[in-house]
Every structure is written in structure tokens, then in C-alpha cells.
Amino acid sequence: MKKIKTTLIILLSLVVVIWVIAKAFQLYLFSDDVKNVASLTQELNAKKVMIVFAHPDDESYTTELLVNAETENIKTALLTFTPGDAGTQMPQVCQQQFLGDIRKAEVYKSGFQLGIDYQKVFDYGDGTLEKQNLQELQDKIVRELIQFQPDLVVTFWPESGMTMHPDHRTIGKATQLAFNQYLARQTKISPQLAYTIMPPKVLSLLGNEAMIKLQASANFSIKADPWVKTRLWEINASQQQFVKNYTGMPAWMLYRLLNREYYFVEGTK
């Protein structure tokens, strides 16, 4: 009985130590001057949100924003410009020639899980966006913006693209140009443009110091539910190990430590 009691005390002590270390790590990561808000959509008084990304699973960067929008009965849209057909399977779930079909289905399923009202996946080849006509991409986004009429648009910061992926950077630039064209046509609403941002201290830990200088400084953050993000990677089964391969941590652990989303919103402080 004494041995069991001693073992339980040791285990409890380990749990406490791990919890303290995790909290200290979070305090370090989030010791910045970025304004933390309960909901970015509420903070910006948004009524309709359109997110423009390059690949299936990119929506993982904005899960909390989308969950909040659904709770607030805000209409949301997600444009995905490639089906992710050239991606590396992690793990392999199909023959490579069918990966685009699989990932397209995955992004529609994750969109349903996140409560997205309108989704569209374009058929540009994965990894080819920087070779496409930028005006053509811009025109497609403008048409979608005019049709959906969002007052908040979210995309990648063009110079960094969250991960320096050329597709991310290209679609960020095309969206930025399209937004400016859309904004110039507005007379009744004042839409805002937001970019997903990787926290600088996370980039430092990942050894991506150079990327810090390429991205804007975030001016808002929101606390993100780690379960939702982990669930999203279960849905995106062909990319389930991406987080672990990229960061060295399994998704469930990373999102419990890094439980915030960062955004730079143009024209706000």
C-alpha cells in the first residue's frame, strides 16, 4: 500500500512539473504586445467572412476564427486554389494520381466540420500558382468577392505565406490585389483585409529567423481550441503527420502549447 501511495505521489509530482513547464513555455511564446481578443469577428464587427488559401488543410490556420463565426451566425466562405495534388502523403492513403481527389474531399469535409457556408476548390496544379497569370487569379477572386460580399477577407501575408510556400505567397498577393479592387467598388460596406501570421517566437524555435523580417507584425490574437485543430488533421488524413514532420511535435501537443491564432489586420492598431 505504501509503495502504491509513493508511486502516486511521484506521478502527481511529474504531472505538476510538466504542467508548470508547459505554462512557462506558453508565457514565453505569448509574451508579446499583440492584443488578445475573444473573437476577431466580433472585434472587427464582421458579418460575412471569406478566406482565400492555396491548399486543402490551409484552413487549419483559421479554425478558431471560423468556429467563432459559426457561433456568431456569421456567414463564411473558403476558396482553395489547388486540390493539393502534388503534396507528399503523410501517411500514404491512396495512389498518388488520386491524391487531388482525396484532398479535395478532405477540405470539403473539414469545411463542413468548421461550419463553412460556401466552399470552392479551383483546379490549378499544386505547386504551380507562382507560374500562373497573376491577373487571372486576381480576377477569379474579385468575382467571388463581388458575389459573396464579405466585410472581412483573410489570406496569407504575400512575402512570407506562413511557411514560405510559393503557392501561399502567390495567393496572398493575388488576394491582396483583388481586395483592393473590391474595396474600390464598395459604397455600402467597409471591408477589411486580415492575414494569418506565424508568431515570431515560434519561427525562432523552428529556426526560421529570416522569415520574421518578411512578415507583418500581428496586431490581434485569439485563443484557439486545440481539439478542433487536432480533429482537422484527422479529417485531412493524407496530411495527418504534417505538423509532426514540420515542427517535431505531434499535433495534439503543439496545439495545446501554441493555442493561439495570430492575425495582422490592415488599418487597425
Question: How far apart (Å, rounded) are the C-alpha atoms in residues 257 and 32?
Answer: 16
Question: How far apart (Å, rounded) are the C-alpha atoms in residues 223 and 200?
Answer: 17
C-beta separation of 255 from 194 below 8 A: no
- Which amino acid, one-letter code, is at 107? V
pLDDT for the residue numbered 72: 97
pLDDT for the residue numbered 18: 57
pLDDT for the residue numbered 28: 57
40 CB-near residues (< 8 Å, 6+ apart): 46, 65, 68, 194, 220, 222, 263, 265
C-beta separation of 83 from 56 below 8 A: yes
pLDDT for the residue numbered 207: 81
pLDDT for the residue numbered 26: 62
DSSP state of 162: T
Averages of pLDDT over runs of 10 residues in the chain (269 residues) are 66 61 61 88 97 97 97 97 95 95 97 97 97 98 98 97 96 98 91 95 84 93 95 95 88 89 87
C-alpha cell read off for 96: 498518388
Q: What H or E segment, with its residue span, contains residue 197?
A: strand 192-197
Residue with cell 502516486: 8
